[in-house]
Amino acid sequence: MPGNTISKGEVFVIDTDASSREELSAALQRKAYDVICFADGASLLSEAKVRMPACVLLEMQEPGHFDTLRRLREENCMAPILVTSANGSIAMAVDAIKSGAFDFIEKPFQSHEIVDRIDAAIDEFGQPEAGQQRWLAGCEPLTAREAEVLEHLAAGLTNKEIARLMRLSARTVEGYRASILKKASAKNVTDLLRRLYGQT
């Protein structure tokens, strides 16, 4: 990185694909991020104890990577964690979000798209209300991001439209949507909105 550029912070990356890692590193460095790549979750966790990354990009290649995600949250790593996977399903997206992921991105992806997502995640994490929770009467609390997805669903937006608006992947929005429905014990979005607006 040129000496006169102020770093926007360090991004920790676990990605098993060497070419993907190199492409990501180059794209992030062009945007003034420092990139540190790790071979496994254990080395990332030990580094996260001594320095705080601006963001973590974690490929879900092995089951152990979910443990890495949970451990980062348990140890109060305050950075947004973006999960990537080549075989992403809605179930995996829901699990990742429940385990503390900020966004779930399916591979293959464009490196510039990832950089935009990282910028958005860091911006949102810097907002004071990012950790607040909201409630639906008689339900488990919704996180601030679930509440935002719910507002967009109530306005009639599709998953893709919500994803574009919130600068997330459509798969992540599907994960949030599934989580909201489960918390509200609703069969579908129509059922959920009836409950929300008292039209039972």
Q: Residues 130-148, buried b or exposed e (16+ Cβ, 10 A)?
A: beeeeebeeeeebbebbbb
Element (H, E) at 8: none
Mean pLDDT of 184-198: 75
Residue 128 pLDDT greater than 90, yes or no:
no
What are the structural domain ranges in the chain? 1-126, 129-200
Q: pLDDT band at residue 197, thresholds of 50, 70 and 90?
A: low
Can you name the CATH fold of 129-200?
A: Arc Repressor Mutant, subunit A (1.10.10)
Cβ contact 94:72 at 8 Å: no
Q: pLDDT band at residue 99, thresholds of 50, 70 and 90?
A: confident
Residue 98 pLDDT greater than 70, yes or no:
yes
User: Do the domains at 1-126 and 129-200 have one common CATH topology?
Assistant: no
Q: pLDDT band at residue 200, thresholds of 50, 70 and 90?
A: very low
* Class in CATH terms, 1-126: alpha beta
